[in-house]
Structure 1
């Protein structure tokens, strides 16, 4: 609440005291209302009343089970408070033109400053690498489900264009920086281009990396034990026998913890429409369209996923993930 809601509220109040303010642009997330299967570029009602949230915090503190029940279907407190901030901005922006950008899973650059560049292990990158290196073998979800990636330079370009073209209106303009509706990709694309690129370059830690999707939690538990827990203990036993420090069980625990935190996203599928974003990009001159690429249909997935993989190996792999 302090990071996502109160800071937004204070910055909005500050901007309203600026005489020459041109636009208040808020970077949100496309996952603010995942209880809906089709998400459009509009502001949705807030998930709760602010006073009720603070009352809950006062009474329950950081009780995890109570919090999960209170956020009522939201994946986590991050998406919950971002949703709350959107609704507050929509209601209280006053005379300040306001724009909301909703990116999906932000990933490596498409073109700028160079293809495949990234500088952190945030988002889906560790999840993808764990699978590609052979650590992650089984996930709850559907192999044919889509993955809504968006290159970070597309988000940046959209933010610049949307801010430059912001209008003074009572309506908060919402733009999705997403791909699932207009240029979808799925887990099979990830395997064919990202995972296979890791293997082709010989950068997998364990042999024959692959990822299996299961629907039920029981199947996930059984599969995790047979496909991951047992092999990790056997490998650590071999390290002990040969006089080396065990490491596989420790790494696997971190991999499983990360996998479980992504379960809501790997086991669900959404269509996130980006009609207004595409219209905004189409309104630019040909020169600006080339300079400020933000239309998701421009992404070439086979080429992009290989660049993404190469970027991780070049810029992040030398640094430890765990």
Structure 2
């Protein structure tokens, strides 16, 4: 039985005049609670709320002490990111609205102290839950602990909040990747969340690992599986909570805000593109004609902020679900994505490139296997051997091993295609005022892929590799030298191969001799023409 969201979406057909305030005004005086604020999406959410909703009263942040750093120290480190440059320059006092809460999503009661829980229960109006493990190859026990149990623990806290107006849960469009067409509704997984939780809590981790393939069924990894479980549990246990589920597809760098191309992690395609820019990755298993459903992080965040406004302004008992995807309205194929990334990796190269950035994708596994050996493993083995003989520390084989594990995790998504219905997202945009549509834009139809992917590559250069724009001229000189080296190697390889073939096959040898004689004859005639 599918969850019917038609009733919850009916209000979206009304005029925007039925809403008493703009999105920004809705947040005036509100107290927020955010999980996952130190993650990629959480940082962008935090910055956008501070910058575009200045009337926010307080933002409590669940932060886990890590590596000897307390929550307050981690918060200070977070707001020193280039992402918060505008806030620090224009409204530095707004940073005092950020209040860290010591806690841990994997622990009972989120490991929040009784005093802090009491503060949250009597003051919070809006909750954004983006804490999750996004590792595709995470062990099922930990993935369930974070993505399912963590959600359950947060919901139990939310049920005790006296003034809660919205709970925004971040899921993924791929939680239902076992079906081609995915509507904005909750599909029941083959095994219930309570059963899975009971299993992983009762069984030894090694036994859970051995059962994982059977438990996740047609889904490719524990991430998509546990996200589906969390949605199913929310449907059955939310009670009267005002819940919204946001399902983004593949989230990449920002398109506009607060900095074009901002990205701060190696997850998903970013690590592969970064390695390709270094010349270390040249082939990938991928269907070039399938759609790459990519969405900029700031558009996802804008949708989250607006969805809280929507359910807070027009409460509904049903779960509102939004598929935040680009494939229906602004599709781009994988071959075009790869083309643009290589193009701009050569136009805006990083320093210390190992090989000239070039390569291709294929959906044929045997072709991919041959290319992988010739372009990845063989050069890495040769170079590491030379480095080791000369007394250095070999690293290329280890790097290639990590890259191939990441590529294998992505292969499921780069060789398949889905149809994500986004009617609820379109209807939500229609009830916004023109100014809110501009300030909180999540219209994927406005994406210019050429421009966006150029800024994405520049963002990898600036924020991942930490390279200043002043190093570009030197990097371009290096890439120019690598280009001519690459071309010379190509010509020499073709000549060697042809020479080998002509030595073995008499017809080819005669053809080669005749071609040479013809070229000599033409050369002699040139002065007389």
Pair in the same fold by TM > 0.5: yes
Matched, 1:135 2:280: yes
Residue 90 of structure 1 aligns to a residue whose secondary structure is helix
**1:109 deviation in Å?**
0.6
Q: How far apart are the structure 2 equivalents of 1:62 and 1:77?
A: 15
Residue 31 of structure 1 aligns to a residue whose secondary structure is helix
Which structure has the highest helix share of the two? 2
User: Of the two, which has the highest radius of gyration?
Assistant: 2
> Which of 414, 437, 440 is residue 292 of structure 1 equivalent to?
440
**1:55 deviation in Å?**
4.6
2:420 aligned residue: 272
- The 5-angstrom pairing of residues 160-199 of structure 1 reads 160-166=305-311, 167-199=314-346
2:232 aligned residue: 87
**1:49 deviation in Å?**
1.7
Matched, 1:53 2:201: no
State whether residues 248 and 324 of structure 2, in contact with CA within 8 Å, keep that contact through their aligned partners in structure 1.
yes
- The 5-angstrom pairing of residues 222-233 of structure 1 reads 222-233=370-381
**1:287 deviation in Å?**
0.6
Q: How far apart are the structure 1 equivalents of 2:197 and 2:317?
A: 28
State whether residues 255 and 298 of structure 2, in contact with CA within 8 Å, keep that contact through their aligned partners in structure 1.
yes
State whether residues 110 and 304 of structure 1, in contact with CA within 8 Å, keep that contact through their aligned partners in structure 2.
yes
Structure 1 unaligned residues grouped into runs of 5+: none
2:174 aligned residue: 31
Q: How far apart are the structure 1 equivalents of 2:329 and 2:177?
A: 18
**1:177 deviation in Å?**
1.2
**1:289 deviation in Å?**
0.5
Residue 213 of structure 2 aligns to a residue whose secondary structure is helix
Assess, with a 3 A threshold, how the Cα gap between structure 1 residues 232 and 62 changes in structure 2: closer, same or farther. Answer: same
Matched, 1:101 2:235: no
**1:226 deviation in Å?**
2.4
> Which of 387, 390, 395 is residue 247 of structure 1 equivalent to?
395
1:311 aligned residue: 459
Q: Deviations over 1:53-87 (max 9, x none)?
A: 14543346245342022110112112111111111
Q: How far apart are the structure 1 equivalents of 2:421 and 2:152?
A: 27
**1:252 deviation in Å?**
1.2
Structure 2 unaligned residues grouped into runs of 5+: 1-143, 468-529
**1:271 deviation in Å?**
1.9
Q: How far apart are the structure 2 equivalents of 1:132 and 1:94?
A: 49
2:53 aligned residue: none
Q: How far apart are the structure 1 equivalents of 2:424 and 2:284?
A: 34
State whether residues 39 and 272 of structure 1, in contact with CA within 8 Å, keep that contact through their aligned partners in structure 2.
yes
Compute the TM-score of the two structures, normalised by the length of structure 2: 0.57
**1:297 deviation in Å?**
0.7
Q: Deviations over 1:151-198 (max 9, x none)?
A: 111111000111101143232110011111111112222233222111
1:302 aligned residue: 450
Assess, with a 3 A threshold, how the Cα gap between structure 1 residues 154 and 146 changes in structure 2: closer, same or farther. Answer: same
1:68 aligned residue: 213
State whether residues 276 and 357 of structure 2, in contact with CA within 8 Å, keep that contact through their aligned partners in structure 1.
no
Q: How far apart are the structure 2 equivalents of 1:4 and 1:156?
A: 19
Aligned length: 318
Assess, with a 3 A threshold, how the Cα gap between structure 1 residues 62 and 172 changes in structure 2: closer, same or farther. Answer: farther
Q: How far apart are the structure 1 equivalents of 2:146 and 2:349?
A: 41
Residue 251 of structure 2 aligns to a residue whose secondary structure is strand
Q: Deviations over 1:1-57 (max 9, x none)?
A: 111111211211221222211011101111101011121111111341234314543
